[in-house]
A and B are shown apart, each in its own frame.
Chain A
């Protein structure tokens, strides 16, 4: 039974192959595979380590299912299914690509082998490039491909240096070897930084994120939420796992300061760019970059639990925000905030759900974002990280100003009337996500059931 986790990767991959044979059944295969994955994940896949091909650890590839990966899988698979359901009619021809993407994303979240992770990074990356071709901006997609390929090459470079040093590709084996032999952190600096930069490209960290603007500023209802919510959440989980276990062994002393300064500057610049933008999608994409940097900053500081909740809150909010704005832009033809002025005056329900998502990202009380922000700020204060605390608080003020300014524009009509029609499916999703954000913001007990030991790799290593 424990090997059922393999199906989370195998089913979409097999379905992807079959879907190429018949274009007609491809959309149905996509829906069925995504649905089976969600059912498998919530009802059948148990926690544990799955050894692939009968090769004992650390020689064989292994899949690692614990609360951390299960949380990631839950968020990613459910949001994937929702986004697919909303777009299946319009983007039928992307079914095979989406199946490959699902296999790649699940593989990324499950694998415990660092080279296998590179393979899934490339599989999901190639699927992501193809998803962004739906924007009909081939030059932006090409830039994404080049930067993404260089990023994964750097990750592979770092990984091979680690292999040359320790003779293993298994994450747990490598970490336990480094700990057992008290390896000097300075010896780990080069491969750790190469891996950090490589994953930083996909995680949208400044200054490795020049692809994001081209891809998301012309996104649609498929590519926008898929890249900004599903892919962003997956990469954040994977990056978190690697930082939390492997890279923190190298991030000590001056290198830690360099990484923290890089992330803090990233947050500031992204918020400033969002503040200076007038196009709604640009505001959202720069806000995503800032939030991604905050997540990685929390992982580097060992605040795992609240980083995970921040990923979830962001993924939920960004799904609603990108879906609303991309649908409005598609119907209206422009995403300038002046041009979309008053779009919510005729779509009050959608306006309310969009506002809930925005206020949650801002971290206002009553919404999930507030609980998460309060807790991670408290943890930073407990750790006496005053400079980082100040960075996040100041960036929150900037964020508050541009989001409120944007909301006011979108709510109050001026001259031209903006008419956008949202289907019932969209509305149901918006309301459901808004209710989740509201429920977890007011009733916080479910968030307190887990603690920082959610990532159990260290525990497994301790127990041999």
Chain B
């Protein structure tokens, strides 16, 4: 079920990217895609009634049901990369604003 929610978020993000002509809104749309994707990744490793994949003094048996830890590690990496891309996108947005005085693509005239 949660995978449907993730896919809906990804589709929302794509719709936002295609329909928005504002640079900041485009960056937000990109982030929505990434969040949807991250939820999808986590959902792949989900196990019903599974516990956190950490060995502790009380949970030290390998016979216990753990959720898959790998997608969680992947999501951590994906989040970091997403932050990097967003930061760069915002830096470019600032540069674009100082050049054109607007965030709206339609108002920039010079279409490069």
Contacts and interface: CB of A to CB of B under 8 A. Distances in A.
A139 B41 contact: no
Interface in A85-144: 115, 119, 122, 126, 129-130, 133, 137-142
Contacts of B88: 126, 129-130, 145
B99 A149 contact: no
Contacts of B77: 115, 119
Interface residues of B, number: 32
A142 B89 contact: yes
B96 A139 contact: yes
Interface string B29-46: 010011001001100100
A160 B40 contact: yes
A138 B34 contact: no
Nearest to A119: B77
Interface size range of chain A in the complex: 20 to 34
A149 B84 CA distance: 11
Contact of B85 (A115, A141, A145, A164): A145
A157 to B, nearest CB: 6
A328 to B, nearest CB: 21
A156 B112 contact: no
A142 B23 contact: yes
Interface of B is mostly: helix
Given A119-B77, A156-B37, A160-B41, A218 B30 contact: no
Nearest to A116: B77
Contact of B93 (A142, A163, A164, A169): A142
Contacts of A119: 77, 81
B87 to A, nearest CB: 9
B53 to A, nearest CB: 14
B41 A146 contact: no
Nearest to A143: B112
Interface in B15-38: 17, 23, 26, 30, 33-34, 37
A163 B43 CA distance: 12
A419 interface: no
A214 B41 contact: no
Contacts of A126: 84-85, 88
A397 to B, nearest CB: 32
A145 B82 CA distance: 12
A157 B10 CA distance: 10
B108 interface: yes
B89 A145 contact: yes
Given A146-B17, A157-B10, A138 B89 contact: no
A381 interface: no
A130 B91 CA distance: 11
B34 A153 contact: yes
A141 B93 CA distance: 10
Given A119-B77, A153-B37, A169-B70, 11 more contacts: A115-B77, A126-B84, A130-B88, A133-B92, A139-B96, A142-B23, A145-B88, A149-B89, A150-B17, A160-B37, A160-B44
21 contacts: A122-B85, A126-B84, A126-B85, A130-B88, A138-B92, A139-B108, A141-B92, A142-B89, A142-B93, A145-B88, A146-B89, A149-B89, A150-B33, A156-B41, A156-B78, A157-B37, A157-B40, A160-B41, A160-B44, A163-B71, A214-B112
Interface of A: 115, 119, 122, 126, 129-130, 133, 137-142, 145-146, 149-150, 153, 156-157, 160, 163-164, 169, 214, 218
